Amino acid sequence: MFKQFNEAGIHFYASRNNLSTKRGNVFYNPMMIVNRDFSVAIINALTTLNNKRMRILDLMAASGVRALRFSKSCVFEELVVNDVSKECVSVIKRNFKLNKIKNKRIKFCNESANNLLLRSSTFDYIQVDPFENIHKFLDLSLRKLKNNGILALTTTDTASLSGTYPKTCLRRYSSLPFKYDFKHEFGIRILVKDLQRLASKQDSFLEPLLCYHYKHHYGLFLRKVHSKRRANESFKNHKYLIYCKKCLNARITNSIFNSEKCPVCGSKLDFFGRFYTGSLWDRRVLSLMLENFKSKEAEFSRESFKLLSLIYEESSVETPYTINTHLIAKKYSLKPCSVNLLVESLKKDGFKASRTHFNNYSIRTNASVADIVRIMKEC
C-alpha cells in the first residue's frame, strides 16, 4: 500500500498508487516539488528579512513531506502539521520518526481545516493546498493570519481561471477570463484580485510576494497587511483588459464601452476582467530566496532554481501582461525571432524587456506591438 519516496534528502512514505490523484489516502505529488522548494525558501527569506521566527501551519499536510522539509531546512517558533485523515496523520508521524526528527516545537493535529482554524490562535504562515474549491478555506485562513503574515496558496483550478470554463470563472471569481496568449498570467491576476477583495472585508490588504504558474497549478505567496487605507487603494489596481484579436493590441482601462473600436486597426474590441494590474513579485524577497537556493543547493531542485531565476528577471519589467512573439510573427507575416535576441534588441532601443516564465515564446515589455513588429523586422 505504501512506498518510500525521497525528496531533498527526506525519506518518507506515501500511498503507492496515487501520484496523479488525491483519491489515495496519503497523497504525494512529485510535480509539486517546485512549490515546496519555494515555500521553504520564502520562509527562510522572510525569517532573515524580519529577524523573527514564524509560527507555521501546514493545513492539509497529506504525507507530511512539506512539513518534513520545513523541519529540516527552516527555523520556526512552532510548526503545526494537520490533516483531516487519521491515516495521513499516522503516516506523517511515522515519517518524522523515519527521519529522526524530534522537536518540541512541532505539533500534529487530526482535524478538518476549518475546525482547526476556528480554535487556533494566529499564525505567521499558513499553507493552503486544497484539492477542492479554495474558497471554503480562505476566509478563516485570512482571519487567522497575523499582521504581515503569509498566505501560501496553491490551486489547480487553472481551467476556469484561464478561460476554458468562463462561466465557472465568472461565478467563482466575479471576472471574465482571458483565453488567449497570456491566459495563465491573467488567471493568476484574477485570483489575486479576488483574494484582495476578500481581504478588504477584513480591513486588510494582500500584497503579492511571489506568484507563478508551473505545469498544472498556480502558486501564490501573499503578505497580509492590516490597513484600511491600503485595502481601499487596492481597488485602484482592479481593472479591465481591452484586447484586439486582429492586431493584438491590448490596453488597461477602468471602465468598458461595448461600442469602442480598436484605435490601431478599427476592429471590434473584446474586454476581460476585472483583474489585478499591480506587481506579482517582491524583488527583495525573490533575491533572498535565490541566495537561499545558492547557499543550500542540495536542498532544492535545479528546475526550481531555473524557474525562480527567470521570475526574478521578469520582475524587473512592470507590465500586467506579456506578448507572444510567435503570435505576432504569424499575424504580421514575419519570421519568428529568437526571444533572447528580441529582448536585447528592445533594450538597446530604450525599452524595458525580459523573458517570462509563463511562456517560452513570450516577452514582458513596455514596448507597443508596433515597436515589436518594427524590431522583429530588423532581427
Domain check: are 247 and 332 in the same one?
A: no
Q: Residue 20: what pLDDT?
A: 45
Side by side, the strands of the sheet bearing 270-276 are 250-253, 238-243, 270-276
10-residue averages of pLDDT along the chain (379 residues): 93 78 73 98 98 98 97 98 96 97 96 97 97 90 98 97 97 96 98 98 98 97 98 98 94 81 91 98 98 95 98 97 96 94 98 98 97 94
Q: Is residue 168 part of a domain?
A: yes
Which range marks the domain in which residue 356 is found?
322-379
Q: Residue 255: what pLDDT?
A: 86
Domain check: are 249 and 328 in the same one?
A: no
- Indicate the number of domains in the chain: 2
Indicate the residue among 276, 299, 332 that finishes a domain.
Answer: 276
CATH code (residue 372): 3.30.56.70
Contact 231, 203 (CB under 8 A): yes
Q: Residue 19: what pLDDT?
A: 52
Q: In the block, which residue shows the cell 514596448?
A: 367
The closest alpha carbon to 333, from 362, 376, 363, 364, belongs to 376
Domain check: are 67 and 7 in the same one?
A: yes
Indicate the residue among 244, 276, 308 that finishes a domain.
Answer: 276
Domain check: are 94 and 242 in the same one?
A: yes
C-alpha Rg value of the chain to the nearest Å: 22
Q: Residue 195: what pLDDT?
A: 98
Judge residue 290's burial from the number of C-beta atoms within 10 Å of its C-beta, 0-12 exposed, 13-18 middle, 19 or more buried. middle
Q: Is the peptide bond preceding residue 274 cis, with omega within 30 degrees of 0? A: yes
Domain check: are 331 and 257 in the same one?
A: no
Domain check: are 349 and 245 in the same one?
A: no
CATH code (residue 173): 3.40.50.150
Got the DSSP string for 209-228?
EEEEEETTEEEEEEEEEE-H
Q: Residue 258: what pLDDT?
A: 61
Domain check: are 272 and 340 in the same one?
A: no
The closest alpha carbon to 122, from 93, 146, 90, belongs to 146
Q: Is residue 71 part of a domain?
A: yes
Judge residue 133's burial from the number of C-beta atoms within 10 Å of its C-beta, 0-12 exposed, 13-18 middle, 19 or more buried. exposed
